[in-house]
Amino acid sequence: MGLFSNRNKSGQKPEHWIDLNTESQLDEILKASMEKPQVIFKHSTTCGISASAKSRIEDDNLSGILDFHYLDLLSYRNVSNLVAENLGVIHQSPQLIIINKGKAIAYESHFAINTDFIKSNIPV
């Protein structure tokens, strides 16, 4: 098995990522973060930088530690705006937000999105 063997060849999200496409799901994510850290990845499907960021985090399976939520921000701009508003995080694209105990504890954008960033911000 090679380094990129888990990559989704179609360019879509990895199958263990959860689609985030309704405003009510944000409440569910915040509640779930009380038990297990949650990650929201805001993805622009037409942006090469966003595709690169996604590829840097989709091969590393951290799903046992975190739940990953995939937000296609071009299709669900209202949800993206609500995420920014409710978590107090300025919108960027691409963007990765780590949520724990109902709050954004870390977030990053563009080329700083990678598994090292995620691992270094997982609460112990």
CATH number at residue 59: 3.40.30.10
In the predicted model, what is the mean pLDDT of residues 75-99?
96
Confirm whether 7 is domain-assigned: no
25 in a domain, yes or no? yes
Would 26 be classed as within a structural domain?
yes
Domain assignment present for 108: yes
Q: What pTM, to 2 d.p., does this model score?
A: 0.88
The upper half-sphere exposure of residue 57, i.e. CA atoms within 13 Å in the direction of its Cβ, equals: 36
80 part of a folded domain = yes
CA 4 remoteness from chain centre: 19
In a domain, 41, yes or no: yes
Per-position b or e across 71-99, b if 16+ CB within 10 A of its CB: bbbeebeebbebbbeebebeeebbbbbbb
Proportion of the chain above pLDDT 90, given as a percent: 76
Query: pLDDT grade, residue 123 (50/70/90)?
Result: confident
Cα dist from 7 to 17, 27, 59, 87, 99, whole Å: 13, 30, 6, 30, 25
pLDDT at 61: 64
More confident residue, 3 or 111: 111
Is 43 within a domain?
Answer: yes
Assigned domain for 111 exists: yes
Find the domain containing 78 and state its range. Answer: 18-120
pLDDT of 4 over the 60 cut: no
For residue 70, the number of C-alpha atoms closer than 13 Å in the C-beta half-sphere is 20
Number of domains in the chain: 1
